[in-house]
Structure 1
Amino acid sequence: MDKEFWLEIKSQVITYLTAIGPKILFAILAFIIGVFLIKILMRVLKRGLKKSRVELSLKTFIESLSIFLFYGFLIFGVGSIMGIETTSFLAVFGAVGIAIALALQGSLANFAGGVLILVFKPFKVNDLIQVNGNIGFVQQIDILYTRIKTFDGRIITMPNGNVSNSDVDNRTMEKYRRVDLDLRFNFEENIDELRILVTGALRKHPQLVQDLPVELYFNEIGESDMRFKARCWVESVDYWPLYWELLEGVKKDLDANGIKIPIPKKEVFQGDPTIALKK
């Protein structure tokens, strides 16, 4: 009885493997060929995008999305070769999709955020932006994440969902950006002479935008000094290097003309001690 049972099982297994074996081999072969074709298609796509005028941020997004779609079609094709019916395959994909959607709600929000970033373009690759307290140059915009590189060389990866729902300070979207320098002087200094000296020092820099205003405003009267704000314009991409260079240039010209930065002072008056003794 047992022997006949096991012989029957063996016969059924052999029959099943004989029937499904070729499908498995074809499926494996199709998968290998599919992976090879995907690599070729991605190379062609990257070359086409490189030659086109598509923005770099959109290129990375298209590449990431294309890989996802190509492998999705490959899995669908391999399943069809294995004999899985299209309706059943779609039903399984639908159920899996719903489960994944529930489990990865944040990732879907990031995907939607990435689409919004590429559509409305609040920034692009190589822009200098500030988001949620992070300042850096945009290195890459993927399907789910945006990467920026800070001034000190750190890479910060931010979910696109958070980025698209936050205030984005794009500091290089406009070609020019105004430099504001806060300066302080003694009350004894002549305001008109200070204005000529400071604006002249600023105009000496070769990378200053000469066509835009170079100004010095009397901004505030402090407790022990006069407070001014010097303004000029530079190209946005050069803002920070020029900010430091302009500030240094103004200080050197002030020193050369004998104008010193004021030091806070307080005058203390002492009453007549004899008055306290008489009381």
Structure 2
Amino acid sequence: MIQGTFNFDVIKAQIITAVTQYGGKIILAIVALIIGRFLIGKVTALVQTAMDKRKVDRDVQPFLNSLITVLLNVMLLLSIAGIVGIETSSFVAVLGAAGLAVGLALQGSLANFAGGVLILIFRPYRVGDLINAQGFTGIVEGVQIFNTVLVTPDNKTIILPNGPLSTSPVTNISGKGKIRVDMVFAAGSHNGVDKIRASVQRVVDACPTALKDIQHDILVTKLTENAIFFDVRVWTPSEYYWDTFYYVNEGISRQFAQDGIQAPKPAEVSVALKQ
């Protein structure tokens, strides 16, 4: 009986000691958890609002929100563990080692992922834009988290990794909504500058995709003994670049024939273009 009473008193003393030692920390940890969860909710809401204002792609918003939420929750749990008195350095070391291992194993994919996030946030190009990148020219069909999909003028699908795209030059041909189509034409010098220019002007004026509210250029760029070279620069909506290019090329060929404008000697053209 005495032994049982003694054991009860020991247990009671241990409970009191534990409550005294850890009770305040546990209460503080619970308060920190409640406040931390509240603040995480506010932060994620602010991030969501910021992404909406910056018009971040809808496909990437849930992922970014989840990533931020997970990181904040990990930080909160580590903080609570520290409040309770649990040594967190070992957890941090394990997480760091695991992160390093995963990073080394997936460094190429992570670079493409990071590039995709940057592209989706800063939008150097959008779906439907005509771009030139990594030696390829095509219309952007899709911007995915790891890759950008292009469709070339001959209807080939090109898949480019986002990592290099985010760190190398990209020419957004259609970014401004209108584009200048540059072409060079040659005719025999005996036809006369005015006659050639008038013939080219008829084609440009008749081009259905050429902008009507902007000045197009028909400029003499080179004179030789037997040839006159013209730079023809026609402004058009970006999506009609190739339509304009092919229309003007074919139209000038037909118009020259109709107006009796003769071409220079082939040898003369070849020599002039090499100079």
| TM interval, short-chain normalised | 0.5 to 0.7
Aligned-residue sequence identity (percent) comes to 34
Equivalent positions of 1:238-253 (< 5 A) are: 238-253=240-255
For the residues of structure 2 that align with 1:223 and 1:160, how far apart are their CA atoms?
51
Pick aligned residue for 2:236 from 223, 234, 246: 234
Equivalent positions of 1:39-188 (< 5 A) are: 58-62=57-61, 94-188=96-190
Q: Is the 8 A contact 1:184 1:228 kept in 2?
A: yes
One-letter code aligned to 2:104: L
**Is the partner of 2:60 in helix, strand or coil?**
helix
Match of 2:260 in 1: 258
One-letter code aligned to 2:212: Q
Distance 1:151 1:65, change over 3 A: farther
Distance 1:71 1:142, change over 3 A: farther
Q: Is the 8 A contact 2:132 2:171 kept in 1?
A: yes
Q: Is the 8 A contact 2:189 2:225 kept in 1?
A: no
Q: RMSD value over aligned CA atoms?
A: 3.2
Q: Unmatched 5+ residue regions in structure 1? A: 1-51, 73-86, 267-279
For the residues of structure 1 that align with 2:266 and 2:152, how far apart are their CA atoms?
36
For the residues of structure 2 that align with 1:155 and 1:89, how far apart are their CA atoms?
46
Residues 77-99 of structure 1: CA deviation (Å, up to 9, x unaligned): xxxxxxxxxx8998765543221
Residues 165-190 of structure 1: CA deviation (Å, up to 9, x unaligned): 11101111011111222111112112
For the residues of structure 1 that align with 2:171 and 2:224, how far apart are their CA atoms?
31
Match of 2:196 in 1: 194
Q: Is the 8 A contact 2:116 2:144 kept in 1?
A: yes
For the residues of structure 1 that align with 2:231 and 2:223, how far apart are their CA atoms?
12
Q: Is the 8 A contact 1:184 1:227 kept in 2?
A: yes
For the residues of structure 1 that align with 2:250 and 2:144, how far apart are their CA atoms?
40
Equivalent positions of 1:257-276 (< 5 A) are: 257-264=259-266
Q: Unmatched 5+ residue regions in structure 2? A: 1-51, 72-87, 269-275
For the residues of structure 2 that align with 1:154 and 1:138, how far apart are their CA atoms?
12
Instruction: Name the count of aligned residue pairs.
Output: 204
Give the deviation of 1:224 after TM superposition.
3.7
Distance 1:159 1:229, change over 3 A: same
One-letter code aligned to 2:227: D
Distance 1:142 1:71, change over 3 A: farther
**TM-score under structure 2 length normalisation:** 0.63
Q: Is the 8 A contact 2:191 2:262 kept in 1?
A: no
Distance 1:148 1:198, change over 3 A: same
For the residues of structure 2 that align with 1:207 and 1:53, how far apart are their CA atoms?
35
One-letter code aligned to 2:60: F
Residues 85-128 of structure 1: CA deviation (Å, up to 9, x unaligned): xx899876554322101222222222221222123221011111
**Is the partner of 1:60 in helix, strand or coil?**
coil
For the residues of structure 2 that align with 1:238 and 1:135, how far apart are their CA atoms?
15
Q: Is the 8 A contact 2:114 2:163 kept in 1?
A: yes
Distance 1:209 1:165, change over 3 A: same
